[in-house]
């Protein structure tokens, strides 16, 4: 009988667990009130502190600092020819090995 097969039992487990989590999410959303003003402010302060040390904060500092902008510009000017040379060298080596 198909109800005894393993795939059916796994399907029943999957459906049961998904309904359990959906019911739990509904209960939590119904009985959990929104954050207080203090919790929201604390969250925002934490996000602002985290942003200072993240890549977004770093990019904001780069945007404001002229020395770092110049360094990035010169690095890019140096990196693109190296990239082109390495691609050309790779193509050359690849073509040499095929012959």
Domain span including residue 19: 1-31
pLDDT of 13 over the 90 cut? yes
Q: Confirm whether 43 is domain-assigned.
A: no
Question: pLDDT, tens digit, for every residue of 20-58?
Answer: 999 998 988 888 777 788 988 999 999 888 887 788 777
Per the structure, the count of domains in the chain is 2
38: in domain? no
Residue 80 placed within a domain = yes
Residue 97 binned pLDDT confidence (cut-offs 50, 70, 90): confident
Q: Does residue 50 sit within a domain?
A: no
Q: Kindly state whether residue 2 falls inside one of the protein's structural domains.
A: yes
pTM of the model: 0.37
* Residue 37: inside a domain: no
- Checking if the pLDDT of 99 tops 70, the result is no
Dihedral of alpha carbons 31, 37, 39, 43, sign? positive
Mean pLDDT of the chain: 87
Task: Provide the pLDDT for residue 53.
Answer: 79
Distance of CA 2 to the CA centre of its chain: 43
SS3 1: coil
């Amino acid at each position: 009988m198909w109800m005894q097969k393993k795939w059916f039992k796994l399907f029943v487990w999957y459906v049961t667990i998904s309904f359990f989590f959906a019911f739990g999410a509904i209960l939590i959303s119904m009985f959990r009130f929104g954050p207080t003003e203090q919790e929201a402010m604390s969250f925002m302060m934490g996000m602002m502190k985290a942003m200072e040390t993240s890549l977004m904060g770093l990019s904001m500092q780069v945007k404001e600092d002229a020395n770092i902008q110049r360094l990035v510009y010169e690095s890019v000017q140096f990196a693109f020819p190296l990239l082109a040379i390495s691609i050309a060298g790779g193509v050359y080596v690849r073509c040499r090995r095929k012959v």
